[in-house]
Amino acid sequence: MIFFLCFESCVKGKMGGSDDKYLKAIMTKFYPEIKQKHRFEYIPLNGKENYKNLSAKVKAKLHEANKSSSKEYRVILFLDTDKSNIDSEGKNEDIKSFCEKCDYSLAWFNPDVESVLLRYMTPKGQSFKKPASSHEKVEKARQFASSFLQKKISKSEMTVLYVEDVNRQNNCSNLLSVLDSVFHSCGLLP
């Protein structure tokens, strides 16, 4: 089985992007057996608006993958709601419709991945400061991955990632709900 994990950020230069670092850390921490036994391809969209080009990217990756592995695959998009952006509501509905039409799964971070995951990892009593520059976002994602993998925490403790209706609550995601559902539908989780 191949899982295509598609994310919003760009992956340029030596540093790469930030979103894939968060996803890889979560997959390693909470789904190590699945990650070990199945293939995971991380596909950057290079911007949320580029979701319409995703099918072509998936087909190209599938063509490469079919030379050596299974034809079974699932596509999961991980996007920010960008609630502070007035134009985001309509775009988010378009993306949701696109995913339904293509039978892709969709996980949201409200308002964005940094506000959800970095805020969660901020020690109590310290104020959360969202990274501003691309360089700072990548560095914070690296720090998150390192500390998150070392921290003793169970999936059930990550309630901030099990929120079903992310539009009703800030600083949350449905990430683990979506991943659990996808892996369950593939027979990989009970």
Asked whether the beta carbons of 135 and 158 are under 8 A apart, the reply is no
According to the model, what pLDDT value does residue 3 have? 94
Q: Establish if 156 belongs to a structural domain.
A: yes
Instruction: Quick: pLDDT tens for 67-89.
Output: 555 668 999 999 998 876 656 67
Amino acid at 176: L
Q: Do strands 73-80 and 105-110 pair parallel, antiparallel, or not at all (unpaired)?
A: parallel
Q: Establish if 35 belongs to a structural domain.
A: yes
Statement: residue 45 has pLDDT above 70: yes
**Residues near 182 by beta carbon (within 8 Å), at least 6 away in sequence:** 3, 74, 76, 105
According to the model, what pLDDT value does residue 67 have? 59
Q: Establish if 190 belongs to a structural domain.
A: no
According to the model, what pLDDT value does residue 63 have? 78
Q: Establish if 178 belongs to a structural domain.
A: yes
Other C-beta atoms closer than 10 Å to the C-beta of 144 total 21
Instruction: Quick: pLDDT tens for 11-32.
Output: 665 556 889 999 999 999 999 9
Q: Establish if 40 belongs to a structural domain.
A: yes
Residue 142's nearest CA partner among 8, 5, 15 is 15
Instruction: Quick: pLDDT tens for 114-149.
Output: 999 998 888 888 888 888 888 898 999 999 999 999
Instruction: pLDDT band for 59, please (50, 70, 90 cuts).
Output: confident
Domain span at 133: 2-185
HEC readout, 124-182: CCCCCCCCCCHHHHHHHHHHHHHHHHHCCCCHHHCHHHCCCCHHHCCCEECHHHHHHHH
Number of domains the chain contains: 1
Q: Establish if 92 belongs to a structural domain.
A: yes
